[in-house]
Structure 1
Amino acid sequence: MLGTYFYHEILRKTVISFGTLFNDIHIRHKDNSGKSISDMKVALAYGPMQKFLARLEQQADLNRATQITLPRMSFEMTNIAYDATRKSTVTQTFKASDGSNLRKVFMPVPYNIGFELNILVKLNDDGLQIIEQILPFFQPSFNLTVDLISVIGEKRDISVVLDNISFQDDYEGDFATRRALIYTLNFTAKTYLFGPVADTPEGLIKKVQLDYHTNMDRENKRRELRYTVTPKALKDYDADNTAQLTFNIGKNDVRITVTDSSNFAVGDRIVIDTEVMKVESKPDANTLAVKRGFNSTAKAEHLENTKINKLTTADDNLIDIDDDFGFNETSSIFTDSLQFNPATRTDS
């Protein structure tokens, strides 16, 4: 349990995603005629407001090169709290793919992360421009899509809620003291924290087998029928390039002319582009009669010289976890009294 190393960078990603919301805000200044005379991108940095105020107070001389330029924004993470209202079953797990393997992970734990965004300006109009570019998007929340666990592609919408807004005008002091108008916006990001991601020994289900019996007698039950289902590929994986089209074909053509039909048998499934077809007969050495749009694929036009691939068990065995696929179904009838042993995978 505790002590198993894992680090998904979820908190870091949440902080970065929050900051990204405000990293492209601009203000504009206009002359008396309404013509824009300047366009400034508002600087954004991670850090507490007090640090920036201290620098303003200690180096208030506008002629110094180290002077902070206003306006600017700062944000920081202020708290982390468990959110019981979004709690799910703690022992529940779900499985996901990392592209080649099946992974298992427990359901995430909901946590709320508090953020404080500070807007420091010299002119009140600058602050109003910035505020007005932010508030309309929070009613009172804004959803961010964050890739929480990259290894399994687990993306979730993180709701960022605007909790409250406060305003502070530090105008007191002598003429040497620089004025700072501060708008403070408090947010809550409703994120999720995941535990370690483990490889599951179960793997991808490649075969389902069901035996039917004549009665409920567990000691002397007699099997009658076995129904087996395996995945069936809907696209070519091994690039066998069995033949090529020698003429263009339309959506409704059921006879296709190929370079050589000897490598095909009646009942074979072939794929041209993304359309799967079933061979129904071979009228001659260069013609195939086919059933179009097989396995619920869309009929389409295909051009001369397009490659024809045959779908075989080799393709079925290469199906990727996230691919669409069909099913091969077989039924077998028995008259013996054997039973299937899952441990040895044999009938005895």
Structure 2
Amino acid sequence: MLGTYFYHEILRKTVISFGTLFNDIHIRHKDNNNKSISDMKVALAYGPMQKFLARLEQQPDLNRATQITLPRMSFEMTNISYDATRKSTITQTFKATDGSNLRKVFMPVPYNIGFELNILVKLNDDGLQIIEQILPFFQPSFNLSVDLVNVIGEKRDISVVLDNISFQDDYEGDFATRRALIYTLSFTAKTYLFGPVADTPEGLIKKVQLDYHTNMDRENKRRELRYVVTPKAVKDYDGDNTAVLTFNISATEVRFTVNDTTNFAVGDRIVIDSEVMQIKEKPDATTLVVKRGFDRTLKVEHLEQARVNKLTTADDNLIDIGDDFGFSETSSIFTDSLQFNPATRTDS
């Protein structure tokens, strides 16, 4: 609830990302022979336009080179508003991992952040150079990839939309008053705000059990079938290096030789590179006959000296969040009227 401290720095990251778009803009001046005589990077700072105008007007040394002060750009965040058009179910959550722990996160809330980019120049050509380096990238939007929540590695594309362009020529006053041409570009950044990220006791689901009943009668219902599914590893986790191939094998060969079959038995699952196989026969101490492409893995060629690893329950227990895995399925038939109690994990 309110009062739970969290701070993902999403607004700060959005402001920084927006400013980064315009921090490498240059203008060039040329002589009568069209030869470049200067290349200037346009200064960029966060702050309201009025502050920079006041500083410009109060500059006591009017004989200083104009380019020391102008051109320059300033930007600021002007408003934050909720975007109902991107609304998702407020109670919906999704799971994310920080690499070792599973985290539960509510769906983010869509908000629009308004920005103003002000371009202050003395020469109109300087302003046109800057504007022309910005406008082609907004049609009318430009996507920024922002790492919104570091703890779960949540990255999203933030759409920055160019809403409006206005122009102002401040040239009122006497002859000594400095001229300032001001281009104002209004943008909307469509970002997302996340709430607190909670640790969850839930980990990788290791077992799914389903009981089928004959009818919906709560008093006399009788279960008939139990279906149990557990995950199976499709890669070697414990690095047992059980054997190695002694020859190359094609993607279709089901009989091949290894240096030693002592630790293998009929029915075992083995993995070579990324292909899982099941042993069907073990004719002698160096030969295996297998079923290829087991657990829906791809049948591929394997080279001599490739490692042949045995997949066991130890590998199944080491399956990590985000890994691919297969399934082991069992079913049981019942004629009793017992029910499974999740609290005690027994039938009663």
Matches within 5 A, 1:248-287: 248-287=248-287
Distance (Å, rounded) in 2 between the aligned partners of 1:165 and 1:229 = 60
- Once the two structures are TM-superposed, the CA of residue 39 in structure 1 deviates from its matched residue by 3.0
Pairwise CA distance, 1:62:
6.5
How far the C-alpha of 1:226 sits from its partner, in A, is 1.0
Q: Could you tell me how far 1:243 is from its partner in structure 2? A: 1.3
Paired with 2:142 and 2:100, the residues of 1 have a C-alpha distance of 34
In the alignment, the residues of structure 1 paired with residue 73 and residue 32 of structure 2 have an alpha-carbon distance, to the nearest angstrom, of 27
Report the AA paired with residue 262 of structure 1: T
**Structure 1 position 257, deviation (Å):** 2.0
Query: What is the TM-score when the length of structure 1 is the normalising length?
Result: 0.92
Q: Distance in 1 between matches of 2:296 and 2:280?
A: 17
Aligned partner of 2:319 in structure 1 is 319
Give, in whole Å, the separation in 2 of the partners of 1:32 and 1:133. 23
Number of residues of Structure 1 aligned to a counterpart in Structure 2: 348
Q: Deviations over 1:264-317 (max 9, x none)?
A: 112222112222222221122112122222222222232222222222222222
Q: Is the 8 A contact 1:99 1:322 kept in 2?
A: no
Kept after mapping to 1: 8 A contact 2:56/2:69: no
Distance in 2, matches of 1:29 and 1:269, equals: 72
Distance in structure 2 (CA, Å) of the matches to 1:63 and 1:273:
74
Map 1:1-348 → 2, pairs under 5 A: 1-59=1-59, 61=61, 68-348=68-348
Note the alpha carbon deviations across 1:116-150, whole angstroms, 9 max, x for none: 10112222112111111211222222222222112
Distance 1:173 1:116 in 2: 26
| Partner Cα distance (1:258, 1:240) in 2 | 15
Q: Which amino acid in the other structure matches residue 165 of structure 2?
A: I
Could you say if the C-alpha distance between residues 278 and 85 of structure 1 is closer, same or farther in structure 2, counting changes exceeding 3 Å? Answer: same
Q: Secondary structure at the match of 2:282?
A: strand
**Cα pair distance change 1:245/1:38, threshold 3 Å:** farther
Deviates more, 1:14-23 or 1:80-89: 80-89
Structure 2: how far apart are the matches of 1:298 and 1:80?
50
How far did residue 261 of structure 1 move? Answer: 0.9
Question: Which of 2-11 and 16-25 deviates more?
Answer: 16-25
TM-score of the two chains, using structure 2 as the length reference: 0.92
User: Shift in Å at residue 252 of structure 1?
Assistant: 2.5
Q: Deviations over 1:152-210 (max 9, x none)?
A: 22222222111111112223344443322211111111111111111223333221101
Asked if 1 retains the 8 angstrom alpha-carbon contact of 2:204 and 2:320, the reply is no
Q: Look up the SS of the partner of 1:284 in the other structure.
A: coil
d(CA) in 1 for partners of 2:68 and 2:3?
44
Gaps of 5+ in 2: none
Q: Which stretch of structure 1 is more off in the superposition, 98-107 or 15-24?
A: 98-107
Q: Indicate the SS of the match to 1:127.
A: helix
The amino acid across from 1:185 in the alignment is L
Give structure 1 regions of 4+ aligned residues with deviation exceeding 4 angstroms.
62-67
Distance 2:49 2:55 in 1: 10
Q: 1:162 to 1:95 in 2, by over 3 A?
A: same
SS at the partner of 1:113? Answer: strand
How many angstroms apart in 1 are the aligned matches of 2:291 and 2:182?
A: 72
Indicate the RMSD between aligned Cα atoms, in angstroms: 2.3
Sequence identity percentage: 89
Instruction: State the Cα distance separating 1:323 from its structure 2 match.
Output: 1.6
The answer to whether the 8 Å contact 1:108/1:195 transfers is yes
